[in-house]
Amino acid sequence: MSIFGTMKLIEVTDKKSRRQFLEVPKKLYRNDKNWVCPLDRTIESIFSREENPFFSHGDAIRWVLVDDKGELIGRVAAFLDEKKSKNFDQVTGGMGFYECIDDLDSAFVLFDACRDWLESRGAEAMDGPINFSENDNFWGLLVEGYLQPSYGMNYNFPYYKDQFETYGFYKYYEQVTNYLNLRKPFPERFWKIAERIMSRPEYQVRHFEYKHAEKYISDLIKVYNQAWVYHEHFQPLERKVVLDSMRKAKPILVEEFIWFAYHNEEPIAFLVMLPDLNMILKKLNGRMHLLNKLRFLFYRWNKTITRTRITVMGVVPQYQRLGIESAIFKHMDNVMKTKPHYDTIEMSWVGDFNPKMRALHEAVGGYFGMRHYTMRKLFDESKEAMRSKIIAMGAGTELRN
């Protein structure tokens, strides 16, 4: 029996319950100096059928949990992506946006709600905490490195890990975030590789430009769909998803923070980096009314943001051992030297299924920042708990001429 007495699970269906869903974390983390409240509008857009393109091939539901006095004590969402769910040994749905008091009974009510909803739709397992979108935002359970998170990175109380594991979730894969200190020089060996690539005229490196946005979006999708095809979760990147991400990022997007590499004008690599919006959002409590809009502009003008986050990058497999990444980082480093108020780059996140990217983080001098787990719960506990498959170091390189 819960120490908080009788609980009531409420499906989010109206204005009141939507407001309650947003209020749960604000209540729980009100005394946590590291937590950053995401914009209410950002969270609501994820559950909007008009705004989130994933609803075209999936569905989602969410709940809030209250105690016998009507006090908010938890929330959660469940989602089933009809495309991605069938990429595993069993049909696998997702749960996320989980927040809960330190009480196992309350946690299990939320987990059970997700499981029951997913099972009724044919799912045999659920991953969490994840997002009803691509995995660059709101993905994974924080288990080490309780720092102020960058924009889009999950943050949670340490006791969440015990709640997940006690319910029967296990670590499906590990996600590591590393940092680069821009006050510290890159390893000289790395720049020598970059110079070798840049000296060859058949290779070109250039940054994103809004005036050619359509071309760069096409180039990004082309590279992504080749770079990630060997990952077991792979689904071809949808144009509407990229457009939606760009629309949301436009207020903070910096053209010189997004890079593309080409071989004889054929796209072979890209890197997307964004200023860490959380350094301003920390001051706004999730709301963007007129006063906060003015405050946002003021903080941005005063260069409050000193950290950036690399959200995603990809290299076509047959070019992955040639040093293309070095050339991109060299161009990026040249830009960062013109913006000295930035002192840190967050490289987040890289899974333990991707040893190539982990090696790159080490090569550029990255140091450990935080660790997340993507957890999995098998509904049939007699089945073997399998870990995520590792992307082979040489996958796809045999295609190079």
Q: What is the pLDDT of residues 273-323, one digit of tens each?
A: 999 999 999 999 888 888 988 988 888 888 999 999 999 999 999 998 899
233 HSE (CA, 13 A, CB side):
17
The residue ranking higher by pLDDT, 234 or 5, is 234
Run of H or E including 344: strand 344-351
Contact 333, 298 (CB under 8 A): no
Burial class of residue 346, CB neighbours in 10 A (0-12, 13-18, 19+): buried
Which pLDDT value is given to residue 228?
85
Contact 392, 354 (CB under 8 A): no
Average pLDDT of the segment spanning 369-388: 94
Confidence class for position 379, pLDDT limits 50, 70, 90: very high
CA pair distance 241, 238, nearest whole angstrom: 5
CA pair distance 273, 278, nearest whole angstrom: 14
String of b and e for 207-245 (b: at least 16 CB within 10 Å)?
A: bbeeeeeeebbebbbbbbebbbeebebeeebbeebbebb
Run of H or E including 270: strand 266-275
Using the predicted structure, report yes or no on whether residue 13 has a pLDDT greater than 50.
Answer: yes
Average pLDDT of the segment spanning 232-236: 75
| pLDDT tens digits for range 53-100 | 999 999 999 999 999 999 999 999 999 999 888 778 899 999 999 999
Share of the chain above pLDDT 90, in %: 74
CA pair distance 128, 97, nearest whole angstrom: 9
Name the nearest CA neighbour of 370 among 178, 182, 131: 178
Using the predicted structure, report yes or no on whether residue 104 has a pLDDT greater than 80.
Answer: yes
CA pair distance 24, 40, nearest whole angstrom: 12
Confidence class for position 356, pLDDT limits 50, 70, 90: confident
Helices (H), 188-323: 188-198, 213-227, 239-249, 278-281, 290-301
Contact 187, 365 (CB under 8 A): yes
Cis peptide bond N-terminal to 129, omega within 30 = yes
**Mean pLDDT taken over the chain:** 91
Which pLDDT value is given to residue 399?
34
Name the nearest CA neighbour of 277 among 396, 119, 144, 153: 153
Using the predicted structure, report yes or no on whether residue 2 has a pLDDT greater than 50.
Answer: no
Helices (H), 53-171: 104-119, 160-167
Confidence class for position 229, pLDDT limits 50, 70, 90: confident
Average pLDDT of the segment spanning 348-366: 89
The residue ranking higher by pLDDT, 333 or 391, is 333
Q: Can you name the residues that pair with 59 across neighbouring β-strands?
A: 80
Tell me the pairing of strands 344-351 and 125-128: unpaired
DSSP 157: -
